[in-house]
Amino acid sequence: MKNKRNVFRCLIILLAGVIYFPVQAQQKHDATAVIYQLDVKKSKLLWKAPNNRHNGFILFNSGSLSNFVAGNPTQGTFSIDMNSMRSTDAATAAGRKKVDDELRSEGFFAVSKYPAATIVVSQILPGQDPVIFTVVGKLTIKGLTDAVQFTTTMKQIGGTITATANLTIDRKKWNIDHQPDPSWNPFVSLKDHLVDDEIPVSLELVFTKLIVK
């Protein structure tokens, strides 16, 4: 009888452990589920076209960093507000509006049809320097998606993360000012030649901690 009681007690302890430890493991996993939300009022994308000397900025609709490992984010998503695109180089408001209207036109970013661009970050890889990371993801502009990879400097202070980056966008990958056959029109061909293929882009991003489960 005594042996049976001991066996029964052992079974109860074993079952309690089976139930308890997975719950503890799940709680520990959930404790690392941190999300940092992009502060759209403090963040922007800066662009520059050296050949035609235009430059300006674009704002974001939303953004976030997630899936933190060892205190660093490994994934992210961003929505870019193409309607917020503004040039800043012209001396007059009329001059800036002329550039903005052309950039929003069908030949360039077709903003009326594609009001948002997106970046989906699949990897944020740490380097030897603790604040330098390699970002790997996909950029969608005008409904076309292509891979992007660039280096970012990312710093975390308390509940805030700041990130800066410089990269170039090849406009032809996203049919920006795409001309099917300019050979019949020398002016179209000249315009296409004067617009840079590689557009330098700078990111200035600020994130704040949103959720800690």
Phi, psi values for residue 113, rounded to 5°:
-90, -35
Q: How far apart are CA 40 and CA 172, in angstroms?
A: 28
Reported as a single tens digit per residue, the pLDDT across 87-98 is 998 899 999 999
Farthest CA pair distance, the chain: 102
Q: For residues 121 and 101, what is the distance between their CA atoms, to the nearest angstrom?
A: 30
| Mean predicted confidence (pLDDT) in 120-126 | 97
| pLDDT: which is higher, 171 or 41 | 41
Ordered by start, the domain boundaries in the chain are 1-29, 32-212
Tell me the CATH class for 32-212.
mainly beta
What is the full DSSP assignment across 51-86?
TTTEEEEEEEEEEEEE--BTTB--EEEEEEEEEEEE
Of 12 and 59, which is predicted with more confidence? Answer: 59
Q: Which residue has the higher pLDDT, 91 or 23?
A: 91
d(CA 163, CA 133): 10
Residues 171-180 have a mean pLDDT of: 75
CB 65 within 8 Å of CB 73: yes
pLDDT classification of 209: cutoffs 50, 70, 90: very high
| Mean pLDDT score of the chain | 81
Question: Which strand (E) or helix (H) includes residue 47?
Answer: strand 44-49
What is the C-alpha to C-alpha distance for residues 25 and 15, in angstroms, rounded to an integer? 16
Stretch 16-45: mean pLDDT: 65
Q: Considering the chain, what percentage of its residues have pLDDT values greater than 70?
A: 73
What pLDDT score was predicted for residue 32?
53
- Above pLDDT 90, what percent of the chain? 60
User: In sequence order, what DSSP letters do the residues of 95-126 get, joined into one string?
Assistant: HHHHHHHHHHSTTTT-TTT--EEEEEEEEEEE
